[in-house]
């Protein structure tokens, strides 16, 4: 299997001298195409920094990031902007939809920004993949929180990115709606829908073991280091591993 994203000895230090903070220390990690990975660790362990570097939003101090085999360190600012626009999808806790546009217009936005004329069939397919085909003409204020986040996922997937990065995607949703959304994300990956070549690859940061257990694999950070991983996680196994990390720290 190809790697959608590969991190090679990734380090990131903020500031310099006495005030330097090392947020990531030589993290090497692969996110294979067609997999769903959760990134966990205590507050300040480097999760957001890892996501920012992996997505090309922040530059590592040393080490390399490869997205679909492309080494980001070899790209100009313009090339990086294009890569982020076309090859990477983002979903955040806040849905960040345009309230005056319909669901389908929101989903079409990344294609418009790329100067392409959105194909209505492509937009409708993205909405159908997240279970929202019946809501294409609704505006965000007419949709529930869970439905709005589904629109945000459809928007992130409409360019068929190599990878979808999700930062606490269920942070603003109630428990039942969170589970629906996570089941949908897992199902996208398991069905091989939504991403480059049809395959979705998801990397999700979360604090919640129940949320993380929807992934195929959980990787754990502590103090900027990769300290372990768990395949086919259960909430109890994830919680136990986190407790072990907190005790060791």
Ligand X SMILES: Nc1ncnc2c1ncn2[C@@H]1O[C@H](COP(=O)(O)OP(=O)(O)OP(=O)(O)O)[C@@H](O)[C@H]1O
Residue numbers at the binding site for ligand X (CB under 6 A): 14-15, 21, 23, 41, 43-49
Spatial separation of the C-alpha atoms in residues 3 and 17, rounded to whole Å: 36
Residue 21 CB, shortest distance to ligand X, in Å, is 4
Residue 192 CB, shortest distance to ligand X, in Å, is 30
HSE of 70, CA atoms in CB hemisphere, 13 A? 18
* Closest CA relative to residue 169, chosen from 159, 158, 179, 157: 179
Query: Using CA of residue 104, residue 106, residue 110, residue 115, what is the dihedral sign?
Result: positive
What the block records as the tokens of 45 is: 């362990």
Residue 127 CB, shortest distance to ligand X, in Å, is 31
Residue 133 vs 223, nearer CB to ligand X: 223
Burial readout 172-196 (b: 16 or more C-beta within 10 A, e: otherwise): bbeeebbbbbbebbbbbbeeebbbb
Residue 23 CB, shortest distance to ligand X, in Å, is 3
* Closest CA relative to residue 188, chosen from 211, 154, 213: 154
Query: In 3-state terms, what secondary structure has residue 228?
Result: strand
Size of the chain, expressed as the number of residues it contains: 249
Residue 132 CB, shortest distance to ligand X, in Å, is 29
DSSP 41: -
Q: Facing residues of 5 across strands?
A: 31, 67
Residue 52 vs 105, nearer CB to ligand X: 52
Residue 86 vs 223, nearer CB to ligand X: 223
Q: Are 7 and 29 in contact (CB under 8 A)?
A: yes
Residue 10 CB, shortest distance to ligand X, in Å, is 12
Residue 44 vs 145, nearer CB to ligand X: 44
CA distances from residue 183 to 116, 137, 215 in whole angstroms, order as listed: 31, 24, 10
DSSP 222: E
Residue 33 vs 45, nearer CB to ligand X: 45
Residue 22 vs 187, nearer CB to ligand X: 22
Residue 43 vs 231, nearer CB to ligand X: 43
Residue 188 CB, shortest distance to ligand X, in Å, is 24
């Amino acid at each position: 299997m190809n790697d959608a994203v590969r991190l090679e000895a990734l380090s990131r230090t903020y500031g310099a001298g006495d005030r330097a903070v090392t947020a990531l220390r030589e993290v090497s990690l692969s996110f294979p195409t067609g997999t769903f990975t959760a990134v966990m660790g205590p507050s300040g362990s480097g999760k957001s920094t890892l996501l920012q570097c992996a997505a090309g939003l922040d530059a590592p101090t040393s080490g390399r990031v490869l997205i679909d085999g492309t080494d980001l360190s070899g790209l100009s600012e313009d090339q990086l902007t294009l890569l982020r626009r076309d090859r990477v999808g983002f979903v955040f806790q806040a849905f960040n939809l345009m309230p005056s546009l319909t669901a389908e217009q929101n989903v079409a936005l990344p294609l418009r920004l790329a100067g392409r004329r959105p194909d209505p069939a492509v937009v409708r397919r993205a909405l159908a993949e997240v279970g929202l085909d019946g809501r294409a003409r609704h505006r965000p204020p007419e949709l529930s929180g869970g439905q709005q986040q589904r629109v945000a996922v459809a928007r992130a997937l409409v360019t068929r990115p190599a990878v979808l990065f999700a930062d606490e995607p269920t942070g603003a949703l109630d428990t039942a709606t969170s589970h629906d959304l996570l089941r949908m994300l897992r199902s996208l990956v398991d069905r091989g829908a939504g991403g480059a070549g049809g395959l979705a690859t998801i990397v999700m940061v979360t604090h919640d073991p129940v949320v993380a257990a929807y992934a195929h694999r959980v990787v754990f950070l502590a103090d900027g280091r990769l300290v372990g991983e768990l395949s086919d996680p259960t909430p109890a196994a994830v919680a136990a591993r986190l407790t072990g990390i907190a005790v060791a720290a």
